Amino acid sequence: MESNSKAQALGRRSFLRHLGTGALGTLVGGFGTERWLSFWSSTQEGAPPLPLQGRAVEPVTYTTSSGIRIHNVQTGYVAVKSAHRLYTGSDGGGIPAIAFDRTWTEWMPINTWVIEHPEGIVMVDTGESAQAMNRDYFSCDPFNQFFYTAFLRFAVTPEDEIGSQLEVLGIPTDEVRWVVQTHLHSDHMGGLKAVAGSEIVVSNVDLNSRTGTLPCHYPPGFAPTIAEFQPEPVGPFTTSLPLTSDGKVRIVPTPGHTEGHQSVILLEDDVTWFFAGDTSFTEAQLTANQLGGIVANPAENRATLARIRELCGDRPTVYLPSHDPESRTRLLKQSTVNL
Ligand SMILES: [Zn+2]
């Protein structure tokens, strides 16, 4: 009974947070986005400047025990307000806390992953587009434009984009068989156009959400595959969607950051690779049970983190969130989570 009303309260707060985002969009749209942006820019200190020339970081590769090659491809950097990265207070601050926070995080990587499985190449997320540096990039979606432009900073060059990085790796884009979108926020789907011919697997819930989702940036004729989870458990995850017929590469539902968030697992005999997306910003947040400052559903996000920790307790697991500066090193050292 008690936990029921707690769940209801969390549901209400999640609803209010969504309402807050919607109201912000309407308010901003009504008064003119450019005017608001100028106002906010005048009150906010920006993230530290980066010299932007060429590729930020070269892709790196690790070969697993069964010979599967995993590439880490960093498509530039993102910085957010400090209150955005870390959940503060009893229910996080949500959008108001982010709006009034004047401090920014350091530049964090925008990681994507390329898994060369014998049955085909799997990509996890497509990163950000260099066009995100241009404020007008988001103007095709007035509902989300303000959030992306006022509360996020991007540092992405054309060389950082997924298309040019696949070229560096010698992987023709038409050889990418599957692209799994952990979710559809801009910094995870900005490279979709480069791999538009692949089978793109998304969550139905996120596809139909307007919060942070930018349909105007989908490739022409965008017709993704909807992930439908099967009753095939992986440790504490009661359902999963196998991508490869050997069952090694699977999608699991990891809701919370967005209502339909999903992650990719590569099951090897010695180690489990967990391509997390935005379940948390860092591994430290996973082990300390800390949420990001703005999540669609805090209760679901906590349950997801608990499930991932349980998985890490059951078997050695390398945890690879999109924005953790240590993810690349953990790939190269195959370093597993210590609970
Ligand atoms: Zn996100």
Ligand 1 center to residue 280 CA distance, Å? 9
Q: Tell me, what's the pLDDT at 266?
A: 98
Q: Tell me, what's the pLDDT at 6?
A: 42
Ligand 1 center to residue 257 CA distance, Å? 7
Ligand 1 center to residue 183 CA distance, Å? 7
The DSSP call for residue 180 is: E
Ligand 1 center to residue 98 CA distance, Å? 15
Q: Tell me, what's the pLDDT at 3?
A: 42
Q: Poorest-confidence range of 76-80, 149-153, 199-203, 330-334?
A: 149-153
Q: Poorest-confidence range of 9-13, 132-136, 319-323?
A: 9-13
Ligand 1 center to residue 3 CA distance, Å? 28
pLDDT band at 5 (very low <50, low <70, confident <90, very high): very low
Alpha helices in 178-217 (DSSP H): 186-189, 204-207
Ligand 1 center to residue 170 CA distance, Å? 28
Q: Tell me, what's the pLDDT at 12?
A: 46
How many angstroms separate the CA atoms of 75 and 155, rounded?
Answer: 9
pLDDT of 90 over the 60 cut: no
User: For 47-72, how does the pLDDT look when each residue is reduced to its tens digit (9 = 90+)?
Assistant: 667 777 888 899 999 999 999 999 99
The DSSP call for residue 246 is: T
pLDDT of 292 over the 50 cut: yes
> The domain 2-333: what is its CATH number?
3.60.15.10
Of 93 and 303, the one with more pLDDT: 303
Ligand 1 center to residue 219 CA distance, Å? 19
Question: Which sign, positive or negative, has the C-alpha torsion 17, 261, 302, 325?
Answer: negative
Q: What are the distances in angstroms from CA 8 to CA 1, 11, 91, 317?
A: 11, 5, 14, 33
Closest of 314, 321, 322, 318 to residue 332, by C-alpha: 318
pLDDT band at 155 (very low <50, low <70, confident <90, very high): very high
Rounded to an integer, the average pLDDT of 223-238 is 98
- Classify each residue of 304-323 as buried b or exposed e, where b means 16 or more C-beta atoms within 10 Å of its C-beta: bbebbbebbeeeebbbbbbb
pTM, 2 dp: 0.88
pLDDT of 38 over the 90 cut: no
Q: Tell me, what's the pLDDT at 278?
A: 97
pLDDT band at 256 (very low <50, low <70, confident <90, very high): very high
Ligand 1 center to residue 66 CA distance, Å? 31
Ligand 1 center to residue 213 CA distance, Å? 10
Q: Poorest-confidence range of 86-90, 177-181, 281-285, 308-312?
A: 86-90
How many angstroms separate the CA atoms of 199 and 176, rounded?
Answer: 8
Side-chain-side CA neighbours of residue 186 (13 Å): 28
How many angstroms separate the CA atoms of 249 and 247, rounded?
Answer: 6
Q: Poorest-confidence range of 88-97, 211-220, 232-241?
A: 88-97
Q: Tell me, what's the pLDDT at 95?
A: 80
User: For 205-219, how does the pLDDT look when each residue is reduced to its tens digit (9 = 90+)?
Assistant: 999 999 999 999 999
Ligand 1 center to residue 31 CA distance, Å? 27
Cα radius of gyration rounded to whole Å, the chain: 19
Ligand 1 center to residue 53 CA distance, Å? 26
